[in-house]
Chains A and B, each alone.
Chain A
Amino acid sequence: MSKIPKVTLKEVRKVFGRQPALAGVSFELTPDRISLLMGPNGAGKSTLLGILSTLSPPTSGQVLYGEKDHRSAERELRGRIGLLSHNAMLYDRMTCRENLMFFARLHGVDRPAEHVARWLEQVQMTDAADKVVGQLSRGMLQRLALARVLLPDPDLLLLDEPFTGLDRDAVALLRRALQGMRQAGKITLVVTHDVEAVDGLCDHLLVLKHGHLAHELAQSDLRSSQIQEHYHGAI
């Protein structure tokens, strides 16, 4: 499978027991734009990210990666999807360098030591490279998690509240990373409530409410005030 050209969701439903988390959601994620997913607590945002990451299959409906269905493409897609979640998904007892080396080797990255050194530099963590992850501050942890996600060069990037706990420099770093993904033609979906952090960054707004897509808007460089307006209008 070559680069993922787009991701299409068709009437995606997810039910936990008798509780519907997603009730027929349809939209399209395309490269060259950054999509922003918003919604109140319990709207189904994390469930949706789980489905898009292929870690959790939908109860019904279809997720297409290019032309391929999530069921047939699941194995091929592994390693092509980067997921940055609430937790950093790093090993506390290993150093920053050891963590990145481990994931680089798992992803079959060529010359892993060289790439890890470059990514540590990119996220301004070179000085802390040999520090144990358990000793890092929340902001540093998030930077390292960003390096872990971007190091294998994913085609689809899913970020769940990535700005939480980040200082100004780290927010700027993450914004640059997202712009880099857009320039490289990658598909990016960000879930956040921090509209100031994504001011002028996103081109596509999705608002979820009670498992339904309540609002969708495609517009370049959405300002935080516009996001707020559309979000509050939708919920």
Chain B
Amino acid sequence: MAPSEPTSSSRGGFLTHALLVAAKDLRVEWRSREIVYTMVFFAVLVVVIFSFAFARRGQPMHEVAGGILWVVVAFAGTLGLGRFFDRERETQQALLLSPVSRAAIYVGKLLGMLIFICATEAVVLPMLMLLFNLHATHVGLLAGILTLGSIGFSAVGSLFGASLMQSRSRDVLLGILLFPIVTPVIIAGAKGTAALLAIDPDPAGAVVWLKLLAVFDLVFVSLSLWAFEPLTRNE
């Protein structure tokens, strides 16, 4: 019954293991497409509703576009997070019993969630620009704000998503725990995006918000790397 014994070692570094977990999540999503489709569908619907709600004398209100984008990221992201970690509920123990560092598992989950959020943004942003008649002049800076904001949201979301996996009321708790902590990200993202999408763009103002997002990411990714292991332990 025992084929030649495999040589098990902790081969492969931290990044290899993180990429392995992320690649697995992407493969599963590629087969089902349920998370990204749900997130995009919800996001598109919200943008269309807001484009009608925020109109003055038949003209869209440019200044609210940044806020709409980040409200969409927050809600569509939470929707995706719930399902993303629900998939791992049955396999979590096998994953945690592997000799891989828990931090690598966390980074893998963060990367997977980040890709789903970026895919949603890639659909929603052009649509928002079209419906609100916006022009992006500082594309690099805008991409930086979107990426850093998405990292911040995914970092905190992945931590709570994983720690609430076995909780019966995880759908309710996820929102309650996540939103107060990611509020600075949403505010910084909305203000930075609004500064760049304004009729008279303010790149210097956007850089300030970008730096704030970078600091937030640094603090929360570091804290999550440390907290992931105790929070995923079944006490």
Interface residues of A (CB under 8 A from B): 50, 53-57, 78-83, 85, 87-91, 93-94, 98, 102-111, 115, 118-119, 121-122, 132, 148, 150-153, 173, 176-177, 179-181, 184
Contacts and interface: CB of A to CB of B under 8 A. Distances in A.
B96 interface: yes
B99 A107 contact: yes
B8 A94 contact: no
A83 B24 contact: no
Given A53-B97, A57-B235, A87-B90, A102 B20 contact: yes
B87 to A, nearest CB: 8
Contacts of A177: 1
Contacts of B99: 78-80, 106-108
5 contacts: A79-B97, A89-B91, A106-B98, A106-B100, A152-B6
Given A132-B31, A151-B6, A179-B1, 20 more contacts: A53-B97, A78-B96, A78-B97, A78-B98, A79-B97, A87-B90, A89-B90, A91-B24, A93-B28, A103-B94, A107-B98, A108-B8, A108-B11, A108-B12, A109-B8, A115-B3, A118-B4, A150-B2, A153-B2, A180-B2
A152 B8 contact: yes
A176 B1 CA distance: 6
A21 B178 CA distance: 32
Contact of A118 (B3, B7, B17, B96): B3
A55 B27 contact: no
B169 interface: no
- Top 6 nearest A-B pairs (CB, nearest first) are A79-B99, A180-B1, A89-B94, A118-B3, A108-B11, A106-B98
Contacts of B87: 91
B234 interface: yes
A109 B99 CA distance: 11
A184 B9 CA distance: 19
A98 B26 CA distance: 13
Contacts of B6: 104, 107, 109-111, 115, 151-153
Contacts of A87: 90
B183 to A, nearest CB: 32
B20 to A, nearest CB: 6
A106 B17 CA distance: 7
Nearest to A119: B3
Interface hub of A94, A107, A109, A184 (most chain B Cβ within 10 A)? A107
A21 to B, nearest CB: 12
Contacts of B5: 153
B38 interface: no
A179 B1 CA distance: 9
B162 to A, nearest CB: 14
A54 B93 CA distance: 10
A118 B1 CA distance: 10
A55 B31 contact: no
A80 B3 CA distance: 17
Interface hub of A79, A106, A184 (most chain B Cβ within 10 A)? A106
B233 interface: yes
B169 to A, nearest CB: 16
A177 B31 CA distance: 33
B129 interface: no
B97 A153 contact: no
Interface string B31-55: 1100000000000000000000000
A180 B2 CA distance: 7
A91 to B, nearest CB: 6
Given A55-B97, A89-B91, A94 B2 contact: no
Interface in B91-136: 91, 93-100
A203 B77 CA distance: 52
Interface hub of B3, B8, B12, B94 (most chain A Cβ within 10 A)? B94
A56 B234 contact: yes
Contacts of A106: 17, 20, 95, 98-100
Contacts of A88: 90
B167 interface: no
A154 to B, nearest CB: 9
Given A55-B93, A105-B20, A50 B12 contact: no
A11 B70 CA distance: 53
Contacts of A150: 2
A85 B90 CA distance: 10
